[in-house]
Structure 1
Amino acid sequence: MLSRMRLQGAVFLRGEYSEAWAYRSPTPTVTAALLSPGSPRVALFHLVATGRCWVALHDGERHWARAGDVIVVPYGDVHTMGGSADSEIVPMEELLDPPPWARMPVITLGAGGRPTDVVCGYLSSDHPLFDPRLRALPPLFVVSLGSGPARDWVRASIDYALAQTAPAERGGLACPTQLPELIVREVLRLHLASAPNIECGWFAALGDPVLAPALAAIHEAPEVHWQVETLAGLAHVSESLLDERFRRTLGLPPIRYLAGWRMHVAGDLLGSTTLSVAAVARRVGYDSEEAFSRAFKRNTGRSPRDARLPAGTRPGG
């Protein structure tokens, strides 16, 4: 399914940061105009080459990433990135010269302490997966490639893209676009492996006029105690029709999809933030930590604490 998606993009920026440092990205509109004129918004990805860093959206919750991890901001939302030490946040507009660029921009920021190197890229796509109204993906997530061929391949691909990138005639950068596409496809494949019933037509469901409004509501607010009646009302169809469409397209009824999506979101939060298990439970609609832990283990085969952020990526770890 991912291989059939039409994606366009490039590696566009290198960041050489040293403790202490922090920056804030431009708005989605400004970012799209800068990187892909004519596109309403772009998806962003950041590969942490060395060191570690955090990234946060407007809610301020920090997701941590270390060398080899890939940070994805699929809707290009305003985000802040920084290192372990506290620092004044610098707007990216103050660090980045406007295009056209004579060479790939290299941002240098920090006070000279422990280094963190980040390679940044973007993608544009008209696929519903990247439609911000559907929120089929979390607005921010971190994918750990672990060790082995996938990690080595992504790193080698980024190195090659950096070596091949050259100035373009009309601003931006000319780059082998297939490399960013392949990198993001691999990252999405790893991330979506835990999405509920993706193999039964999840991509098709995102474009279904009946399912799309219900999915958008579930994805935007998994903590809400959704009822089939309420979801059917959002889609302007009967409960029976919504239930039938869910079963036919996704292979399961609406409330079971909701339960699976909650576990998918919980796995992201447990793997990339320092939120407590109780806080993660509340974020996905559970009032009881015990009930959440039982549901998570039943769904994933491991306890929430086993899925926790590795100690080495926590603040001070």
Structure 2
Amino acid sequence: MDALTHLLSGPHAQRAFALRVVMDPPWSIDVQDRAPLTLIAILSGEASLVTERVRVSLKPGDIAIVRGPEPYRLADDPEREGLVVIHPGQVCTTQGGDHVSISMAQGVRTWGNSPTGTTTMLIGTYESDAQIGTVVAAALPAVAVIPAGHVDEALMRLLRDEISVDAPGQGGVVDRLLDVLLVHALRGWAREHPESASGWLAAARDPLVSDALRLLHDAPDAPWTIESLAQQLTVSRATLAHRFRTSVGEPPMTYLTSWRMLLAGELLSDPRRTTADIAQQVGYGSPFALSTAFKRHHGVSPTEYRRHRQTPLATRADGPKPTLEPRRSSTSC
């Protein structure tokens, strides 16, 4: 199972926040939601995406993938200051703090300052690492732009149509379509920037490394060592270590630890799973061994991590105070 296959099958591929945004000039949105990853697809019109280090112009058919948690701005003019702010938990306010979720609602999962704006975007936000996976996000730059023509626009239209329909199962279909669009965007970016791809995304350049990743992904519970992995691939330990580090940017066993910790984090989102069960599934001999490795990697114990993941993002200590305005998935922020 490669990382993209895992993205489509894992629990982190569920309940992502997706909506259609429709805007007429002047408009500017300061995104301060601290989400680990957001996909922006331009259907019509143009938009400027501005971060502290990057400024890009997006045209119809373009897709941008933005890594968090740093803020960014979307606007009709790159110099325009933010008129609306998106906080953690997708709480939307003016710069003065007035809520605008209801006033800017334009229908089912549709939000903006005009029902027929000249700029239409699809925005999909993965609001936690458990949804997208740090292994997926870490392979990308802060902003990855996939120009029109590198991803089939039929996928964007299909997601647009599903977002706009209030029908049974819509949430699940939107999640799946968003994931598929993200996978195609990641493929498109890797094809266009083979020299910039890192982590698992760069492994396709080296068949040996690709095979090594497949073994680690498929059997994270196996008692892997650099020796046993090299033996399985019928190469020397030195050859495997050198080529793996050159492609992925870290040694095989370091990568395996990160992969195990990603899986453990996902499994902790299921309250039915015990620490002992999770430890066995990700290759640790005891809950204590898992807890020690998990705390070293994440900085918190599995119990603390589970508690944090079950707390809504908008109510965490590093986000804004809880809003009295209910979250309404059928409309918008």
- For normalisation by structure 2, the TM-score amounts to 0.48
Question: Residue 126 of structure 1 corresponds to which residue in structure 2?
Answer: 133
d(CA) in 2 for partners of 1:203 and 1:137? 21
Q: Is the 8 A contact 1:18 1:114 kept in 2?
A: yes
Distance 1:122 1:203 in 2: 31
Larger radius of gyration: 2
1:11 touches 1:175 (CA, 8 Å); kept in 2?
Answer: no
CA shift for structure 1 position 139: 1.3
Q: What pairs up with 1:166-177 in 2 under 5 angstroms?
A: 175-177=173-175
SS at match of 2:164: helix
Write the distance in 2 (CA, Å) between the matches of 1:84 and 1:175.
33
Correspondence 1:140 to 2:146:
no
Matching residue of 2:5: 3
Letter in 2 for 1:13: L
Q: Matches of 2:163 and 2:27 in 1, distance apart?
A: 23
The alpha-carbon deviation at position 20 of structure 1 amounts to 2.2
- Alignment of 1:82 with 2:80, yes or no, is no
Where in structure 2 are the equivalents of 1:153-164 lying within 5 Å?
A: 153-164=154-165
Residue from 218, 237, 242 that aligns with 1:247? 242
CA spacing shift, 1:21–1:190, aligned 2, 3 Å? same
Q: Distance in 1 between matches of 2:247 and 2:60?
A: 38
Q: Distance in 2 between matches of 1:86 and 1:167?
A: 42
Rounded Cα–Cα distance in structure 1 between residues aligned with 2:61 and 2:187: 16
Taking a change above 3 Å as real, the CA distance of residues 253 and 185 of structure 1, as seen in their structure-2 partners, is: closer
* TM-superposed deviation, 1:245: 5.3
CA 1:204–1:184: 2 relative to 1, 3 Å: farther
Q: Which residue of 2 aligns with 1:106?
A: 110
Counterpart of 2:30? 24
SS at match of 2:71: coil
Question: CA, structure 1 residues 166+78, in 2 after alignment: closer, same or farther (shift >3 Å)?
Answer: farther
The separation in 1 between residues aligned to 2:51 and 2:211, in whole angstroms, is 26
Q: SS at 2:26's partner residue?
A: coil
> What amino acid is the match of 1:79?
Y
Q: Shift of residue 86 of structure 1? A: 4.2
3-state secondary structure, aligned to 2:177: helix
* Alpha-carbon offset, residue 44 of structure 1: 1.0
State whether residues 108 and 165 of structure 2, in contact with CA within 8 Å, keep that contact through their aligned partners in structure 1.
no
Is 1:68 the counterpart of 2:71 in the alignment? Answer: no
- CA change 1:190–1:69 in 2 (3 A) is same
CA 251–129 in structure 1, closer or farther in 2 if over 3 Å, else same? same
1:191 match:
189
Q: Deviations over 1:106-157 (max 9, x none)?
A: 33238x9982111111232235122xxxx4211112111317xx43322332
Structure 1 residue 247, shift from structure 2 partner? 2.5
Find the aligned partners of 2:156 and 2:45 in 1 and give their Cα distance. Answer: 14
Query: 2: CA distance between counterparts of 1:78 and 1:45?
Result: 14
RMSD: 4.2
How do 1:138-287 and structure 2 match up within 5 A? 138-146=141-149, 150-164=151-165, 175-193=173-191, 194=194, 195=197, 197-199=202-204, 200=206, 201=209, 246-249=241-244
Q: Is the 8 A contact 2:28 2:82 kept in 1?
A: yes
Query: Is residue 108–residue 164 contact of structure 2 (8 Å, CA) maintained in 1?
Result: no
* Secondary structure in structure 2 of the residue aligned to 1:4: helix
Q: What is the CA-CA distance between 1:47 and the residue it aligns to? A: 0.9
Deviation at 1:21, TM superposition (A): 1.7
In 1: Cα distance, 2:167 partner to 2:72 partner: 27
Note the alpha carbon deviations across 1:178-237, whole angstroms, 9 max, x for none: 1111110000011122236431337977xx9xxxxxxxxxxxxxxxxxxxxxxxxxxxxx
Q: Which blocks of at least 5 consecutive residues in structure 2 are unaligned?
A: 87-91, 95-99, 217-236, 250-333
User: Does the 8 Å CA contact 2:122/2:160 hold for their aligned counterparts?
Assistant: no
Task: Assess, with a 3 A threshold, how the Cα gap between structure 1 residues 64 and 203 changes in structure 2: closer, same or farther.
Answer: farther
Change (3 A) 1:159 1:78: same
Q: CA 1:42–1:127 in structure 2 vs 1: closer, same or farther (change >3 Å)?
A: closer
In structure 2, do the counterparts of structure 1 residues 86 and 251 end up closer, same or farther at CA, with 3 Å as the change threshold? Answer: closer
Task: Name stretches of at least 5 consecutive residues in structure 1 with no aligned partner.
Answer: 29-40, 209-241, 255-317
Query: In the TM superposition, what is the alpha-carbon distance from 1:76 to its structure 2 partner?
Result: 4.8
Partners of 1:165 and 1:175 within 8 A in 2: no
CA contact (8 A) 1:70 1:143 kept: yes
CA distance in 2, matches of 1:204, 1:102: 49
Identity of aligned residues (%): 14
- Quote the residue 1:215 is aligned against: none
Deviation at 1:250, TM superposition (A): 5.5
User: Which residue number corresponds to residue 43 of structure 1?
Assistant: 37
Determine if contact 1:8/1:181 at 8 Å carries over to the other structure.
Answer: no
**TM-score (structure 1 length as normaliser):** 0.50
Query: Cα–Cα, structure 1 residues 157 and 25, in superposed 2: closer, same or farther, change >3 Å?
Result: same
